[in-house]
C-alpha cells in the first residue's frame, strides 16, 4: 500500500516538473555560462578582479549570454538527454564554444567603446572553461546515473558478464549503461589475461576465459553474453565449456553480417545456435552490384516455398525487383511465404503462383504471361534415401522438370537462368545426385543456344536448418532425450547457413556471363559426429553420458565425404574469395536432348532398373548401391 501511495505521489510530482524540464535545462546552462565568464576574469586577474573590469564584466555579461545561448541552441545542446551524452555531444560543445569566442571577439571590436575593453585572454579562457564546465556537467550526470545503476539491486535487470576483447565489449557496455533496460553489465572476461584489473566504464575486467565460472559466482552473474563474433574455434569451444560449468544461460551478439547497415541494438542479443560453433568463412557480397542486377527486373523463383527458395525470395525482395514471382506446388508453404513477404515488403510487387515444373505446357503459358527476366531454379527433390527408393521421381522432377523450365525460358527470352545445384551432383553415388548431375550438364549445354539467355549454375553443400536436414532431426531427437543417430563416426559434410548460401548465390548470379558453374566455398568439412556433440553441449548436456550418440551405418547412396568438383573439372578462382569456377567440357544441347528423350521414355515406362543403367552410361564411374 505504501508503495502504491509513493508511486502516485511520484507520478504527480513528475507531471508538475516535466513541462518545466526544458526551462530548467536552459537555466542550468545559463548558470554555467555565467560561472565560466566570471571564472575567466577570476583566473585572468589571479583572484583579484579590479573594480573597473568587474564593471566591464557585468556590462558585457548579457551580450556573452545571448551569443552563447544562440550557438548552443544552434547545435541543439539544450535538448539532448544528458544520460546519453557521447563524444559527439562534446564535439558540439567545442564547436559552439569556439564559434561563441570568435563572435565575441568581433563584437568586442565594435562594442568596446560603449561597454569597455575586454582583454583578449578572457575570451580564450572563457572558451576553455565553457567546454570544461558544460561538458563536465553532462558527463558527470551520465557517470553518476551509471554508477547508480551498477549499485542498484533492481529486479527488472539481469546482471550480465560480457566475454570478448575490450574493442568488442566496449560499445556494448556503453549501450547497456546508456539505455538501461534488461541488462546490467557487472563484469568482463577478456581473452588477453594482461587486461585483468582494468575497467571499462567502471565495469571490471575480472580475468581470462579460465576464470568464467569463478567470476559468475563472485559477481552474481545471471547471464553471460558472448561478444566475440570472430573468436577462434578452439577458444570458442573453451568458452562454451566454461559457460556450461557456470550453469548460467549464455547468449551472443550477432556478427556484422547479421546486423547489416545498422548499429548494435540490445534487441539483437540472441541465444547461441549450433551454426555459431561451426568453422565457416565470413560472408560478404557486392551489395550495390547485386542490387543493380536485381532492381526493377522481373524475377521468378521455382521451389519458392522450400528452404532455399523462400530465403531467395526474402533476400531478393530487399532489392526491390519490378515483380517477384513465387512458383511452388505446395500450397501451404507458398501461402505462408507469401504472407510473410507481403507483410515485410509491402512496396514490392509479389505474386504467388501454384505451378509444377513437370507441367511443360503450363510453364510455357506462365512464362509467356509474366516474361521473367531472371529465373532462379530451386525446385528439386533433395533427400538421398527417398530418391534412392524412387529414382523415377528423381529423374522426372530434377532432370525433366529442369528441361521443361529451360525450354520455356528459351522461348520467352529470359535473360538469366540460375540453377541451384548441390555437391551431391559431383561424382554421384545416389539417384538424387545423378539426377542433379545430369540436370547440370543439360543446363550448361543449353548456354549459347540463345542470343538472350545466359545459363548459370551454383553448386554448394549442405545448408544448416533446412527442412529434413540433419540439425532439425538432431534437435527432435535431443528433445526426446536421445539418442542422436549418426550413420558413421567419420562421415563429414560441408555446411553453410541458408542466408549465407543464398547471399553467395545472388553474388554468383550477378557475376555470371553464361555457361558458368560457380562453386561456393563453405569452409572446411565438419564431421557429423562433432555436430551432434556440439549440439548436446549447447543443451547443457555431456555427449556419451547424458545423451548417447549411436551409429547406424551408411544409408543407400550416401557418401562418406562430399566433393565440390567432378573428375575432369578444374577449379579456377573468381574475383570473389568465396566463389570458384568449375571448368570442364560438355556435349552439345542436341546430344543432351537425345539423352533426355531416352530418360523421358524410361520414366514414362516406370523402368527404374533401366534408368540406373542409363545413369551409368551418362555419368563416368557412377556406381550406385546394390539394392
Reported as a single tens digit per residue, the pLDDT across 188-222 is 888 888 888 887 777 888 888 888 888 888 888 88
- pLDDT for position 256: 45
Task: Answer yes or no: is pLDDT of 405 > 80.
Answer: yes
Q: What is this structure's pTM? A: 0.65
Distance between CA atoms of residues 13 and 139, nearest Å: 26
Bigger pLDDT: 378 or 183? 378
Bigger pLDDT: 67 or 282? 67
Distance between CA atoms of residues 284 and 47, nearest Å: 63
- The answer to whether the bond into 483 is cis (omega within 30° of 0) is yes
Domains of the chain: 2-149 (no CATH), 153-272 (3.40.50.720), 293-462+497-521+569-618 (3.40.50.720)
Reported as a single tens digit per residue, the pLDDT across 461-488 is 877 766 667 778 888 888 888 888 888 8
Reported as a single tens digit per residue, the pLDDT across 436-449 is 999 999 999 998 77
Give the strand pairing for 374-377 and 298-302: parallel
Most confident of 119-128, 367-376, 556-565: 367-376
Reported as a single tens digit per residue, the pLDDT across 521-570 is 877 788 888 888 878 877 767 788 888 999 888 877 777 877 778 888 88
CA distances from 213 to 193, 200, 203, 534, 537 (A): 15, 20, 18, 19, 16
Lowest mean pLDDT among 70-74, 400-404, 618-622: 70-74
Reported as a single tens digit per residue, the pLDDT across 316-341 is 999 999 999 999 999 999 999 999 99
- pLDDT for position 117: 80
List, in order, residues 6 or more apart from 450 with CB less than 8 Å away. 410, 413
Choosing from 244, 382, 424, 559, which is the catalytic residue? 424
Q: Give Cα 396 to chain centroid, integer Å.
A: 37
Give the strand pairing for 199-200 and 203-207: antiparallel
Lowest mean pLDDT among 100-109, 123-132, 166-175: 166-175
Q: Tell me what the pLDDT averaged over the chain comes to.
A: 82
Distance between CA atoms of residues 22 and 81, nearest Å: 11
Distance between CA atoms of residues 142 and 136, nearest Å: 10
Cell of 55: 564593471
Which pLDDT band, with edges at 50, 70 and 90, does 1 fall under?
very low
424 is catalytic: yes
**3-class DSSP assignment, residue 348:** coil
Task: Answer yes or no: is pLDDT of 250 > 50.
Answer: yes
In contact, 318 and 391? CB cutoff 8 Å? no
Task: Answer yes or no: is pLDDT of 489 > 90.
Answer: no
Amino acid at each position: 500500500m505504501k508503495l502504491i501511495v509513493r508511486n502516485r505521489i511520484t507520478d504527480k510530482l513528475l507531471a508538475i516538473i516535466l513541462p518545466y524540464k526544458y526551462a530548467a535545462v536552459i537555466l542550468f546552462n545559463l548558470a554555467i555560462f555565467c560561472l565560466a565568464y566570471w571564472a575567466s576574469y577570476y583566473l585572468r586577474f589571479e583572484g583579484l578582479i579590479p573594480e573597473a573590469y568587474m564593471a566591464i564584466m557585468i556590462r558585457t555579461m548579457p551580450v556573452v549570454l545571448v551569443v552563447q545561448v544562440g550557438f548552443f541552441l544552434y547545435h541543439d545542446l539544450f535538448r539532448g538527454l544528458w544520460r546519453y551524452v557521447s563524444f559527439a555531444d562534446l564535439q558540439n560543445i567545442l564547436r559552439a564554444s569556439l564559434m561563441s569566442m570568435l563572435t565575441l571577439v568581433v563584437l568586442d571590436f565594435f562594442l568596446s567603446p560603449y561597454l569597455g575593453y575586454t582583454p583578449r585572454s578572457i575570451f580564450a579562457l572563457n572558451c576553455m572553461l565553457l567546454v570544461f564546465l558544460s561538458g563536465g556537467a553532462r558527463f558527470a550526470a551520465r557517470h553518476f546515473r551509471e554508477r547508480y545503476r551498477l549499485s542498484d539491486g533492481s529486479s527488472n535487470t539481469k546482471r550480465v558478464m560480457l566475454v570478448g576483447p575490450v574493442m568488442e565489449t566496449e560499445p556494448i557496455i556503453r549501450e547497456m549503461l546508456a539505455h538501461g533496460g534488461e541488462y546490467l553489465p557487472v563484469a568482463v572476461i577478456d581473452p588477453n589475461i594482461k587486461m585483468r584489473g582494468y575497467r571499462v566504464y567502471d565495469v571490471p575486467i575480472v580475468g581470462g576465459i579460465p576464470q568464467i565460472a569463478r567470476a559468475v559466482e563472485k559477481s552474481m552473474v545471471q547471464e553471460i553474453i558472448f561478444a566475440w563474433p570472430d573468436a577462434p574455434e578452439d577458444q570458442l569451444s573453451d568458452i562454451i565449456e566454461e559457460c556450461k560449468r557456470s550453469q548460467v544461460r549464455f547468449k551472443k551478439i550477432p556478427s556484422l553480417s547479421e546486423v547489416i547497415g545498422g548499429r548494435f541494438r540490445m534487441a539483437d542479443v540472441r541465444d547461441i545456435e549450433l551454426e555459431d560453433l561451426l568453422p565457416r568463412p565470413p560472408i560478404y557480397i557486392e551489395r550495390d552490384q547485386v542490387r543493380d542486377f536485381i532492381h526493377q527486373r522481373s524475377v521468378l523463383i521455382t521451389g519458392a516455398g522450400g528452404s532455399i527458395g523462400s530465403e531467395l525470395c526474402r533476400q531478393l525482395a530487399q532489392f526491390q525487383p519490378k515483380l517477384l514471382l513465387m512458383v511452388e506446388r505446395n500450397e501451404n508453404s507458398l501461402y505462408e511465404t507469401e504472407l510473410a513477404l507481403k507483410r515485410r515488403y509491402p512496396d514490392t510487387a509479389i505474386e504467388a503462383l501454384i505451378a509444377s515444373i513437370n507441367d511443360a505446357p503450363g510453364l510455357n503459358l506462365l512464362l509467356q504471361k509474366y516474361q521473367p527476366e531472371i529465373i532462379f531454379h530451386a525446385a528439386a527433390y533433395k533427400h538421398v534415401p527417398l530418391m534412392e527408393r524412387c529414382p523415377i521421381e528423381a529423374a522426372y522432377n530434377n532432370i525433366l522438370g529442369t528441361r521443361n523450365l529451360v525450354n520455356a525460358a528459351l522461348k520467352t527470352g529470359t535473360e538469366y537462368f540460375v540453377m541451384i545445384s548441390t555437391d551431391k551432383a559431383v561424382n554421384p553415388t545416389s539417384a538424387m545426385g545423378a539426377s542433379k548431375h545430369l540436370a547440370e550438364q543439360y543446363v550448361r549445354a543449353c548456354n549459347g543456344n540463345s542470343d538472350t539467355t545466359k545459363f548459370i549454375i551454383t553448386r554448394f553443400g549442405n545448408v544448416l536448418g533446412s527442412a529434413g536436414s540433419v540439425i532439425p532431426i538432431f534437435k527432435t531427437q535431443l528433445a526426446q532425450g536421445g539418442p542422436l543417430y549418426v550413420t558413421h563416426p567419420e562421415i563429414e559434410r560441408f555446411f553453410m547457413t541458408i542466408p549465407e548460401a543464398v547471399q553467395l548465390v545472388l553474388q554468383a548470379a550477378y557475376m555470371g556471363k553464361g555457361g558458368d558453374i560457380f562453386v561456393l566455398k563453405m569452409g572446411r568439412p565438419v564431421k557429423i559426429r562433432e555436430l551432434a556433440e556440439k549440439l548436446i553441449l549447447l543443451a547443457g548436456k555431456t555427449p556419451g553420458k547424458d545423451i548417447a550418440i549411436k551409429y547406424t551405418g551408411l544409408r543407400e547412396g550416401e557418401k562418406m565425404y562430399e566433393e565440390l568438383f567432378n573428375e575432369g573439372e578444374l577449379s579456377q578462382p573468381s574475383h570473389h574469395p568465396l566463389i570458384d569456377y568449375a571448368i570442364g567440357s560438355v556435349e552439345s544441347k542436341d546430344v543432351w536432348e537425345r539423352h533426355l528423350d531416352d530418360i523421358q521414355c524410361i520414366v514414362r515406362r516406370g523402368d527404374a532398373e533401366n534408368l540406373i543403367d542409363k545413369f551409368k552410361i551418362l555419368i563416368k564411374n557412377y556406381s550406385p548401391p546394390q539394392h
